[in-house]
Chain A
Amino acid sequence: MTMTVAFCSWCGKSSAEGSHSVCTQRLSMIDPPRYCPECARRMVVQVSPAGWTAKCSRHGETTSPAITG
């Protein structure tokens, strides 16, 4: 199953509309995702010293790629 990236996970708006350059920058530097990319629901996010997990009540949990320890 492939995941659709319909929404920006920083601002929660449609990925296809408007510019998301600030969002992309923040996501690459200091922010974990906050909105589910599939449905734009706000996710429950837990940041830990070495990573993060983000949970959408509908689409389940995503974990940061580099989580260690």
Chain B
Amino acid sequence: MTVAPEQVDVLATAREQVLERGEGLTESQILEVLELPEDRLEELLELAHDVRMRWCGPAVEVEGIVSVKTGGCPEDCHFCSQSGLFPTPVRAAWLDIPGLVKACEQTVASGATEFCIVAAVRGPDKRLLSQVRAGIKAIRDAGMDINIATSLGMLTQDQVDELVDMGCHRYNHNLETAKSHFPNVVTTHSWEERWSTLTMVRDAGMEVCCGGIIGMGETLAQRAEFATQLASLNPHEVPMNFLTPNPGTPYENYPVVEGAEALKTVAAFRLAMPKTMLRFAGGRELTFGDLGTKQGMLGGINAIIVGNYLTNLGRPASQDLDMLTELSMPIKALNETL
């Protein structure tokens, strides 16, 4: 008689492997988590929260972001309202230095320790880099004590070095989705090109911020694949976005990711990357509403973007900060390592 091998529950395994030993789940284990029935969701979120508290602690990193160059991008990322290739209502705009300084002031006023300067470009040209350099200098001259991150697309080694020289401490560049799904989402550049920018950034000593968007037609297996690929990059931070179907883009009629599914994905990513900063980024207002944001903070998330995004609006920063107070989660202090 052959005895079927005993099925080990993935959450029991995760408790030992991730919570006790700090070792992330493998791709097949992540998929198992993503396939858990809804009646296990509460248990999953609790575990993800325990893992976050054990390996990252209670502090939450708060960040503000602003777009210095909006719209008119030559790339064709199918989710993006800033692509110049789709008939979206977003018009190209440049933010001047006083505007950038003001945006940074608003971010500092919200208690954030991180300010990210973003541009909708394939990669930065000389004009953009000098604008960013002047912007960072103006922020410093105004006496603002905040970490500055940038997100300017794909980089060359010289551009990486220039950003380090400007004092940019973190670089955001999202892989967006699983490698196997990427060609369905973007055709004007490859996943590998993005990966190469990320490794250059990491090797130059900047903190790597790399995440993506959930809800772009990827399968659960591809979500597991994506989490594994991100884990192998070992980024400092992973921003998690949920698709906002934007008018004029190829994904304008895609459904919004349902709240429970989104929470499950967040928790699975936490179990894949126990020690990485996991940030709630765009799309949480549509996907979760107010209640779900709190559940996410109790389900693996330990960083948020407050206020508005690049082209979309978020809820007022004060609402998020009140929520953190209510949850007894302190805002991460400047220069404190999570």
Contact = CB atoms under 8 A, between A and B. Distances in A.
Interface of A: 11-12, 29-32, 34-35, 42-52, 66, 68-69
B89 A12 contact: yes
Contact of A49 (B92, B106, B247, B311): B106
A69 B92 CA distance: 25
Contacts of B285: 29-30
Interface residues of B, number: 34
A32 to B, nearest CB: 6
A55 B311 CA distance: 14
B249 interface: no
Interface string B256-277: 0000000000000000000000
Interface stretch (B1-9, B209-217, B293-301, B302-310): B302-310
A45 B93 contact: yes
B308 A42 contact: no
A42 B91 contact: yes
A49 B100 CA distance: 10
Contacts of B314: 30
Contact of A47 (B89, B107, B109, B311): B311
Contact of A46 (B95, B109, B306, B313): B95
A50 B317 contact: yes
Contact of B107 (A11, A29, A42, A49): A49
B67 A47 contact: yes
Contact of A44 (B66, B93, B106, B307): B93
B146 to A, nearest CB: 12
B308 A50 contact: yes
Contacts of A43: 91
Given A30-B286, A34-B89, A47 B110 contact: no
Interface in B311-329: 311-314, 316-317
Centre residue among A42, A49, A68 by max chain B CB count within 10 A: A49
